[in-house]
Amino acid sequence: MRELDAGRIEHKPTDYVVTLSHGLPVDPDAISHWLKKVGKGVGMNSTPHRLRHTSATMMLNLGSSIEAVGKVLGHSDVRTTGVYARVLDATGGDALEALAEDLDGGRRCSDR
């Protein structure tokens, strides 16, 4: 970051996932800090790592193939995805359904 700010490294805005309005990358520590602050405000322990796990688990439980989820996560080996994403068993289905309903503003997954 410091080298970018000092102009010692040339940057291309399209090379970054998250940028500021002027095209420079957002400091990853700033994102982590913001996410923890938001999580704390709603009584949750939020980190980028937990968000990644949750997203992968939800994608798998909503019917995405493990290969597709692995591709989204940038994994070259599907075994990595299987370890990384904690898939809920049948007993967790009701919990996932309730979460999906809440996130979709009251629509059940079966209504899609």
Rounded to an integer, what distance in angstroms lies between the CA atom of residue 74 and that of residue 80?
10
- The answer to whether residues 33 and 56 belong to one domain is no
- The answer to whether residues 31 and 53 belong to one domain is no
Q: What is the pLDDT of residues 89-111, one digit of tens each?
A: 654 666 667 777 777 765 555 54
- The answer to whether residues 19 and 64 belong to one domain is no
Q: Write out the residue range of the structural domain in which residue 24 sits.
A: 1-44
Look at residue 112 in the predicted model and tell me its pLDDT: 46
Rounded to an integer, what distance in angstroms lies between the CA atom of residue 72 and that of residue 106?
27
Tokens of 110: 């079966």
Cβ partners under 8 Å of residue 96, min gap 6: 58, 61, 62, 88
Q: What is the pLDDT of residues 22-71, one digit of tens each?
A: 778 888 898 899 889 998 988 888 888 888 888 888 888 888 888 999 99
Rounded to an integer, what distance in angstroms lies between the CA atom of residue 35 and that of residue 110?
31
- The answer to whether residues 66 and 105 belong to one domain is yes
